[in-house]
Amino acid sequence: MKLPFGFEIRKKALIASPSITILKRDSPAIFTKANQESYVQDGFKKNPNVFSIVSLIARECAKARFLLYEYKGGKKIKVPEHDIYTLIDRPNPLQGRSEFIESLIAFKLICGNSYLHMAFPDLGMNAGIPLELSVLFPTLIDKIEFVNGLPANYIYKNTYRGQKVPAAEIIHFKYFNPTPGSGGFGMSPIQAGLAPVTESNEQGEQSVKMLQNGGPPGFLSVADSNVELLEPQALKIEEDINKNKYND
């Protein structure tokens, strides 16, 4: 039995008589939330299009080789050996160069922000020289503290109370953000594409629902095709349809 007006009927198990559930039409469109966590969960991890695009760009960038040059006598000369090459090739104990660059680029594409943390000693011959590089999770950067208009600390939520990371230890890569009061955070490209991202996710979810329900939205489905609807049930369906039709 087909129902008009785009109503969705889900199949439910029958015991003595057909049991019918009508899912009413949705309220006004609800888009994916515009925050860092949603960009990761609903944008990158849930949407295959976003995942493919971000992964392709980030992995291609990870293939690039870095070269160091210095100027001598007005000429640019390539530096064949330097500690920076070793640092980039092995930035930290958990990552190599490719994975490190991929995560740095991917986070910026997904969240609009990427944070490179530099670990260096405060004293000794290597004071102020980065010995280890790591990429912080943008979703864990809770706040940027400013002093005299410049970043002073980044509040990193890796502990219960949050950890203050001095701005001198972080290189913040971000996209332009036209929103006043953005707090120093960049704008995610996914924010500009919330409508198509939400639409794509919803289409995928509806396709799965259609398969699980045994038919597309707009059809009446019962577990036993030999059992007819009882008159009270048919009247209830008609009442719900008319009620929602005239309330729109």
Buried b (16+ CB within 10 A) or exposed e, 23-41: eeeeeeeeebeeebebbbe
Task: Give Rg (Cα) of the chain.
Answer: 28
Looking at per-residue confidence, does 236 or 138 come out higher?
A: 138
Total residue length of the chain: 248
Question: Which residues is 136 bridged to in the sheet?
Answer: 115
Determine how β-strand 21-23 pairs with β-strand 8-10.
antiparallel
Strand ranges in 80-149 using DSSP code E only, listed in sequence order = 113-119, 132-136, 141-147
The pLDDT assigned to 222 comes to 56
Tell whether the model's pLDDT for residue 177 goes beyond 60.
yes
Q: Give the mean pLDDT of the chain.
A: 82
When pLDDT is averaged across residues 206-215 and rounded to a whole number, the result is 74
Secondary structure string (H, E, C) spanning 190-239: HHHCHHHHHHHHHHHHHHHHHHHHCCCCCECCCCCCCCCCCHHHHHHHHH
Least confident residue range of 12-16, 116-120, 219-223: 12-16
Structure tokens that stand for 124 in this block: 């000794």
Contact 133, 91 (CB under 8 A): yes
The pLDDT assigned to 178 comes to 94
Determine how β-strand 68-72 pairs with β-strand 75-79.
antiparallel
Confidence of residue 230 (pLDDT cuts 50, 70, 90): confident
Q: In whole angstroms, what is the distance from residue 163 CA to residue 173 CA?
A: 20
Torsion of CA 76, 81, 85, 86, to 10 degrees: -170
Confidence of residue 7 (pLDDT cuts 50, 70, 90): very low
Q: In whole angstroms, what is the distance from residue 170 CA to residue 66 CA?
A: 20
The pLDDT assigned to 232 comes to 82
pTM greater than 0.75: no
Contact 103, 57 (CB under 8 A): no
When pLDDT is averaged across residues 168-182 and rounded to a whole number, the result is 93
Tell whether the model's pLDDT for residue 19 goes beyond 70.
no
Looking at per-residue confidence, does 56 or 28 come out higher?
A: 56
Residue type, 82: H
Tens digits of per-residue pLDDT, 102-156?
999 999 999 999 999 999 888 888 888 899 999 999 999 989 999 999 999 999 8
Tell whether the model's pLDDT for residue 73 goes beyond 90.
no
CA nearest 9: which of 220, 232, 225? 220
Confidence of residue 13 (pLDDT cuts 50, 70, 90): very low
Q: Is the dihedral of CA 156, 159, 160, 166 positive or negative?
A: negative
When pLDDT is averaged across residues 30-59 and rounded to a whole number, the result is 90
- State how far the alpha carbon of 248 is from the alpha carbons of 109, 210, 245, in Å: 40, 25, 6
